A and B are shown apart, each in its own frame.
Chain A
Amino acid sequence: DIHMTQNPVSLSAFIGDKVTITCRASQDISRYLGWYQQKQGQSPKYLMYYASNLLSGVPSRFSGSGSGTEYSLTITGIQPEDAATYFCQQCYSYPLTFGSGTKLEIK
């Protein structure tokens, strides 16, 4: 199984800050990485695919990068509505696996 290590576990930011969440795979996943946002009590929302491609309707303050085993999600200019837990997920091979999540708190 491919293990996804996500850091940090939690972070706190002010409105307008820039934050970066990292996701490390236990083996090369060739950019088969997606990102999700989950708000309290809701289902996850699909944000990004192939590591850096934003879904339609996702604000441009979200961006992604990475290759091989190292990936990151950056939010530039945090907004109040970005308070959520963010998960990465690889679909390079079965079983599909997720990172453990990063909880973003807005100060």
Chain B
Amino acid sequence: QVQLQQSGAELVKPGSSVKISCKASGYTFTSYDMHWIKQQPGNGLEWIGWLYPGNNKTMYNQKFNGKATLTADKSSSTAYMQLTSLTSEDSAVYFCARRAAIGPNWFAYWGQGTLVTVSS
């Protein structure tokens, strides 16, 4: 079965960077886009972007240009998201997610989420 296993919670200082991971299993990693989604406490969901591991093509929500960088390691079936120049506004839970086998970009599979806390 499809599983997305994310890295653990991070406590980071303002101005620093953080890189979180999402290890995929149960399917061919290079066949599906990996999406990233932000959820701030008590807030809704924001789509950050996707990376297609088959050719490393990316698409970003313009709002996150310069903030988030998506990469992947095919050898370990792991997707990564790096967040830079962190501020308190970046404190959130970040999810990786994959669409269903058939159909457009609704997310049938989600990681458990990674909490990023930006604090001095």
A residues engaging B (CB < 8 A)?
Answer: 32, 34, 36, 43-44, 46, 49-50, 55, 87, 89, 91, 94-101
Complex contacts, B47 vs chain A, CB 8 Å: 95-98
Q: What are 22 A-B residue pairs whose CB atoms fall within 8 Å in the complex?
A: A34-B106, A36-B107, A43-B95, A43-B111, A43-B112, A46-B107, A49-B100, A49-B106, A55-B108, A87-B45, A91-B104, A91-B106, A95-B61, A95-B63, A96-B47, A98-B44, A98-B45, A98-B46, A98-B47, A100-B43, A100-B44, A101-B45
Interface size of B by CB at 8 A reads 22
Decide yes or no whether B16 CB sits under 8 A from chain A.
no
**Cα–Cα, bound, A98→B97 (Å):** 14
Complex contacts, A46 vs chain B, CB 8 Å: 100, 106-108
Asked if A43 meets B106 with Cβ closer than 8 Å, knowing A87-B45, A98-B47, A101-B44, the reply is no
Mask: chain B, 75-99; 1 = CB below 8 Å from A; 0 = not? 0000000000000000000010000
**Cα–Cα, bound, A84→B67 (Å):** 31
Complex contacts, A99 vs chain B, CB 8 Å: 44
Asked if A96 meets B105 with Cβ closer than 8 Å, knowing A43-B110, A43-B113, A46-B100, the reply is yes
Complex contacts, B103 vs chain A, CB 8 Å: 49-50
Complex contacts, A100 vs chain B, CB 8 Å: 43-44
Residue ID in chain A nearest B6 by CB atoms:
A43
**Cα–Cα, bound, A32→B61 (Å):** 18
**Cα–Cα, bound, A44→B35 (Å):** 14
Measured between C-beta atoms, what is the minimum distance from A85 to chain B in Å? 9
**Cα–Cα, bound, A95→B59 (Å):** 9
Decide yes or no whether B62 CB sits under 8 A from chain A.
yes
Asked whether A91 lies within 8 Å of B110 as measured between CB atoms, the reply is no
Which of A36, A95, A96, A99 has the most CB atoms of chain B within a 10 A radius of its CB? A96
Complex contacts, A101 vs chain B, CB 8 Å: 44-45
**Cα–Cα, bound, A100→B46 (Å):** 10
Measured between C-beta atoms, what is the minimum distance from A33 to chain B in Å? 9
**Cα–Cα, bound, A55→B105 (Å):** 14
